[in-house]
Structure 1
Amino acid sequence: SAATRALPGLQGGDRIIADPVAGLLPGLAQQLPGLEILQADSVRQALEQQLDALVQRGRALSFVTALPALGGQGPTEATPEPEPAAPRPPPVAAATHLLQGHRARPLAADGTSLGQGWELFRDARGWQLRGSGAAQVNDAPYRAGQILGGGDTIRLDDGASWRLIEVAARGEAQG
């Protein structure tokens, strides 16, 4: 048959792997013992895995006749990509005082009143606001649970504004 003539060096224990399209040819499996039809996306996966060997932009065009082995013997099940880790929020700068105008007052973890029913407090996650009405942080609406830190500006409806700052102890290194 034409299939066996196309592969003259084929021996009994040899494996032939073929694209799923080749599996559509009638009688091919009977003519080629050891024929293994790949999963539908196996060729695409192999191309993606060998991309560095196939695409070499710094070199002249050449035909690829062999590719390095990637390890493993035989077909493998596609492993799903791991879920990307949830992005971590950027670290929040320390805040020890509330600056209004030219006056700074120390923050109290159990709550520092801002007026209009708003209070700045600290929990295990960091500094937050609690109250009702409109408040802005850095010129954007405050989101419940939003963590505040040094450098953040708080503004209430009446126009009052504060900046969270860190006051360093005398002789402490500046960051």
Structure 2
Amino acid sequence: MLASWPLLAPPLVQALAMVFDEFYFHRQRGLGAWERIGHPLDTMTVLACLAWILFVQPSQRAVEIYVVLAIVSCLFVTKDEFVHARRCSSAEQWLHALLFVLHPLTLASYGLMWPAIHLGDSELPSFLRATRPLTTFVVGQSVLTTAFLLYQTIYWNLLRRRSWTPMRPSPDVR
């Protein structure tokens, strides 16, 4: 597992940045309808990638489909930027830029872990030999991502629904 630590870094850093974005910036400014619906959809695109690598054996065709899923996810998460330009502080926009850099790195990391989920150690390059920890990591990330999706959907669309504020620029947005 120690040899594969570089593969773990992007998902872990992305998770920390997402938690900060959600529990600091989003709670501070609230989310409008576009983001309340769009953010869970963003999470679903990541879950589609994770589900693919957990349930599908790697093959030439499967890798091609994963690459398409990952590209769609990377493009899809940018859909909110016209809203963020009007609503977010420069600090939150910087964090979003960091998340946009981490997103494809995270999906690439998962893609590189994919063989370790389905193949035996003897079939893997040395940096992926520790199949069980990598599998556990991806399964754990899938569980946490599913929990985050449920949180986003329930909290923002049911519990906080009545506390929406009209869209207005953040004080430091020019």
- Name the one with the larger helix percent: 2
Flag the structure with larger Rg: 1
Tell me whether the two structures share a fold, i.e. TM-score over 0.5.
no
Question: TM-score range with shorter-chain normalisation?
Answer: under 0.3
- Name the one with the larger strand percent: 1
Larger RCO (CA within 8 A; separation ≥ 6): 2
- TM normalised by structure 1 equals 0.19
